[in-house]
């Protein structure tokens, strides 16, 4: 059961990277078993969870239950698992490279998620800044109604944005044509005036 909550977003990324690398399903790491192959992957998960998040150990342990395990892992299990992985990294060069590959992939996705978060905040601030200074109540009312409808019907946004951009582009092109025509007319008058 994948989550989309902010709290577990990085943990979702870590588990997904490990699952894809080992070609296992999304319940594999969190099953209630002590099989070595499962426990080894779970140790890697806990190690990376402590490296890439600032979550309390209890929250990391609760994630196991959230993902389908019968009970949460306790903080001692997470500390012990992380220590084992650190020890293996310090003595096994191949294992260190393996963990490095997973860390790089997790870092890529975590950085991408941070980028998306930053970009969305940039647009939110832009919208809020424009609306905050608006005084026209009729405009604000219509803007609010449109926003509500768009929010409820997100699938229409791409089509609507394309249509609005096309309308604005056409209007700007028409305005440019009118401006150019008026310039040409005024030049014609000047030229005609000089001929007389």
Q: Per-residue pLDDT tens for 112-127?
A: 777 777 777 788 888 8
pLDDT at 154: 74
Q: Identify whether residues 84 and 25 lie together within a single domain.
A: yes
Segments forming the whole domain that contains residue 155: 135-196
| Nearby residues of 62 by Cβ (< 8 Å), 6 or more positions away | 72
CA distance 14 to 9: 9
Q: Identify whether residues 55 and 83 lie together within a single domain.
A: yes
pLDDT at residue 194 is higher than 70: no
Q: Identify whether residues 43 and 140 lie together within a single domain.
A: no
CA distance 153 to 141: 18
pLDDT at 151: 78
Q: Identify whether residues 101 and 140 lie together within a single domain.
A: no
Q: How many domains does the chain have?
A: 2
| Nearby residues of 110 by Cβ (< 8 Å), 6 or more positions away | 10, 13, 52
Please return the burial class of 47, using the count of CB atoms within 10 Å of its CB with bins 0-12, 13-18 and 19+: buried
Q: pLDDT digit string (tens) for 7-25?
A: 788 899 999 999 999 998 8
Q: Identify whether residues 105 and 141 lie together within a single domain.
A: no
DSSP classification of residue 4: -
pTM: 0.60
Q: Identify whether residues 109 and 13 lie together within a single domain.
A: yes
């Amino acid at each position: 059961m994948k989550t989309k909550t902010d709290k577990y977003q990085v943990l979702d990324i870590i588990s997904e990277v490990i699952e894809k690398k080992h070609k296992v399903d999304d319940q594999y790491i969190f099953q209630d078993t002590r099989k070595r192959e499962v426990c080894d992957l779970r140790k890697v998960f806990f190690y990376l969870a402590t490296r890439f998040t600032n979550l309390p150990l209890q929250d990391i342990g609760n994630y196991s239950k959230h993902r389908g395990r019968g009970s949460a892992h306790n903080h001692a299990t997470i500390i012990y698992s992380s220590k084992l992985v650190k020890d293996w990294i310090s003595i096994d060069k191949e294992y260190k490279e393996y963990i490095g590959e997973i860390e790089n992939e997790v870092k890529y996705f975590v950085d991408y998620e941070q980028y998306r978060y930053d970009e969305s905040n940039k647009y939110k601030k832009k919208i809020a800044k424009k609306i905050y200074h608006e005084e026209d109540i009729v405009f604000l009312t219509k803007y609010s109604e449109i926003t509500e409808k768009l929010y409820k019907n997100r699938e229409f946004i791409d089509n609507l944005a394309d249509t609005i951009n096309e309308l604005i582009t056409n209007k700007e092109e028409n305005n440019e044509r009118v401006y150019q025509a008026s310039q040409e007319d005024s030049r014609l008058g000047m030229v005609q005036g000089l001929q007389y």
